[in-house]
């Protein structure tokens, strides 16, 4: 079992990564939390597969479960309130533990609940999608969506541990696996050219059944994110680079009601749009832009969106982005593979025209 440290001084925590690690970690947890209250938040399909492993090892604890519907459209304050109500009725106190067992929606929602229940209780992330393992489970960003925008209501709140058991990838739908690859590719573009080239060389082998390869790309992705978060926990500067592809991607998700694209699919399109913007303003070269598009297509990700999606709505939604400062949009744009820049003074007319005329 591999261990990766997210170094945040008194809030530091381990990421455990390996195959078939849930039972052992759950046994250790049962000893630590013996007799204490635990709520497991999950969705039906995931809990059916993996919930029993947890429950069998946590018999010494006082367990309740909350099974939520699947889908980004359920990452809402209303759903958070439903979980909070269950905890209040069960008289949970501040030494309780919340376990998030699921993908990014479950982790974001459950982590947000943990951050606000009685001003904060312990929580553990057990991500079950590739996207959640490499991105949302690490770094302490927890949030719910608002009807007007994605992740607008949230906190920075770190988990106590992250458990990544690669065997859960076996049951992942193909579309979810591919969506997760977008975030892995993102790390190659923003930080690690060697990772990017590795992904290019192994693009045909990047399948959910190749667990050795999956563990390698998850490990490298988590190490990159842990390094960035350790340097800038609250996204005051450096951490913003993790949002490459997300400015356009979030606007696209919101414009399509959160149920048309998977998050990773929207990020893939957002990376292409950001790449094209970098091209337009002379920051990036056409060869690397084409390489990015080709890799995304090779792994089965979209690089364009249908004409019926409102380009005006995408443009409007950009102005709900959380990186806005002094009423100005901030973009993460590539300079070369492995290096991006935080750009604060892009001519908004160029952005508007890019969206209106966008074709990958």
In angstroms, the CA 138 to CA 27 distance is 22
Interval 169-214: pLDDT, tens: 988 999 999 999 999 999 999 999 999 999 999 999 999 999 999 9
Pair 309, 255: CB distance under 8 Å: yes
Q: What is the pLDDT of residue 322?
A: 83
| Closest by CA position to 2, among listed 167, 216, 229, 186 | 216
pTM equals: 0.95
Q: What is the pLDDT of residue 284?
A: 98
Residue ranges of domains in the chain, CATH in brackets: 2-171 (3.40.50.1970), 184-357 (1.20.1090.10)
User: Known catalytic residue: 141?
Assistant: yes
Q: What is the pLDDT of residue 105?
A: 96
Choice among 57, 66, 183, 253 that is catalytic: 183
User: Known catalytic residue: 78?
Assistant: no
Binding site membership for NAD(+): which residues? Answer: 104-108, 128-129, 141, 150
User: Known catalytic residue: 235?
Assistant: yes
Pair 305, 245: CB distance under 8 Å: no
% pLDDT > 70, the chain: 100
45 burial type by CB count under 10 A (0-12 exposed, 13-18 middle, 19+ buried): middle
Q: Which stretches in the chain have pLDDT values below 50?
A: none
User: Known catalytic residue: 183?
Assistant: yes
User: Known catalytic residue: 250?
Assistant: yes
Interval 15-38: pLDDT, tens: 999 999 999 999 999 999 999 999
Choice among 57, 72, 75, 141 that is catalytic: 141
Choice among 178, 186, 262, 263 that is catalytic: 263
Produce one character per residue of 114-143: b if its CB has 16 or more CB atoms within 10 Å, e if not.
bbbbeeebbbbbbbbbbbbbbbbbbbbbbb
Choice among 75, 178, 220, 250 that is catalytic: 250
Q: What is the pLDDT of residue 90?
A: 98
Pair 92, 40: CB distance under 8 Å: no
Residue 283, token pair as written in the block? 């920051």
Q: What is the pLDDT of residue 360?
A: 72
Binding site membership for Zn(2+): which residues? Answer: 183, 246, 263
User: Known catalytic residue: 239?
Assistant: yes
Q: What is the pLDDT of residue 148?
A: 85
In Å, what is the CA distance from 98 to each residue of 43, 86, 139?
14, 12, 17
Pair 196, 188: CB distance under 8 Å: yes
User: Known catalytic residue: 243?
Assistant: yes
Q: What is the pLDDT of residue 300?
A: 98
CA 99, chain centre distance (Å):
17
Choice among 220, 246, 276, 322 that is catalytic: 246
Pair 193, 337: CB distance under 8 Å: yes
User: Known catalytic residue: 24?
Assistant: no
User: Known catalytic residue: 325?
Assistant: no
In Å, what is the CA distance from 73 to each residue of 128, 174, 190, 244, 266?
18, 20, 29, 23, 15
């Amino acid at each position: 079992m591999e261990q990766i440290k997210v170094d945040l001084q008194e809030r530091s925590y381990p990421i455990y990564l390996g195959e078939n690690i849930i039972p052992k970690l759950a046994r250790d947890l049962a000893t630590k939390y013996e007799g204490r209250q635990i709520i497991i938040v999950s969705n039906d399909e995931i809990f059916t597969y993996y919930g029993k492993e947890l429950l069998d090892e946590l018999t010494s604890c006082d367990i309740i479960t909350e099974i939520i519907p699947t889908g980004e459209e359920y990452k809402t304050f209303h759903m958070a309130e439903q979980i909070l109500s269950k905890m209040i009725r069960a008289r949970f106190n501040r030494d309780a533990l919340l376990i998030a067992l699921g993908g990014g929606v479950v982790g974001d929602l459950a982590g947000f609940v943990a951050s606000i229940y009685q001003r904060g209780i312990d929580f553990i992330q057990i991500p079950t999608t590739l996207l959640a393992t490499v991105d949302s489970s690490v770094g302490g960003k927890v949030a719910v969506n608002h009807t007007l925008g994605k992740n607008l209501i949230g906190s920075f709140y770190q988990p106590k541990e992250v458990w990544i058991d690669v065997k859960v990838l076996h049951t992942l739908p193909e579309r979810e696996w591919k969506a997760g690859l977008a975030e892995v590719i993102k790390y190659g573009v923003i930080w690690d050219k060697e990772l990017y080239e590795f992904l290019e060389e192994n693009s045909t082998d990047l399948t959910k059944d190749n667990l050795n390869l999956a563990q390698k790309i998850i490990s490298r992705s988590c190490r990159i994110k842990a390094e960035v978060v350790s340097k800038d926990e609250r996204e005051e500067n450096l951490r913003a680079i993790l949002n490459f592809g997300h400015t356009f991607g979030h606007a696209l998700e919101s414009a399509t009601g959160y149920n048309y694209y998977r998050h990773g699919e929207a990020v893939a399109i957002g990376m292409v749009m950001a790449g094209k913007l970098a091209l337009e303003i002379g920051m990036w070269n056409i060869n690397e832009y084409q390489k990015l598009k080709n890799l995304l297509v090779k792994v089965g990700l979209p690089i364009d969106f249908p004409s019926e999606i409102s380009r005006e709505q995408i443009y409007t939604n950009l102005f709900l982005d959380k990186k806005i400062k002094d009423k100005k949009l901030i973009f993460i744009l590539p300079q070369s593979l492995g290096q991006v820049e935080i750009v604060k003074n892009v001519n908004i007319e160029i952005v508007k025209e890019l969206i209106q005329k966008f074709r990958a």
